[in-house]
Amino acid sequence: MFYAVLAALATANLGSAKHSGVIGLFDRYFVKTGLLSKELNKALHRAFDLRQQGDYGEATVAVDAEDAAEVLESAEMFLAAIQSYLKQLE
């Protein structure tokens, strides 16, 4: 999802070195302007939060299979939406 957002941002000559910066630009440029849906915003934030939890959270707090399946499904929807957006620009 992160790299899909980077591709979309590149079409507007935008980018950031940090994940949080990329997400902020995505929200500001694509979601708040209505170019892409708020559902995509929620999916991206959920995936980022779970990544943070899995990578940097306490050892006793793990991402479970249900959360992983939910994020995978959301990621597939997210990627399809970004691909559709990028094809519109061709």
CA distance 66 to 51: 14
20 and 27 Cβ atoms separated by less than 8 Å: no
The model's pTM is 0.87
In the chain, how many domains are there? 1
Domain extent at residue 61: 2-88
Q: Kindly give the confidence (pLDDT) of every residue in the chain, 90 residues in length, as a single tens digit, with 9 standing for 90 and above.
A: 999 999 999 999 999 989 999 999 999 999 999 999 999 999 999 999 998 887 777 655 677 899 999 999 999 999 999 999 999 998
Burial 6-30, CB ≥16 within 10 A → b, else e: eebbeeeebeeeeeeebbebbbebb
CA distance 1 to 52: 14
**CATH number of the domain that residue 30 is part of:** 1.20.120.330
CA distance 87 to 16: 23
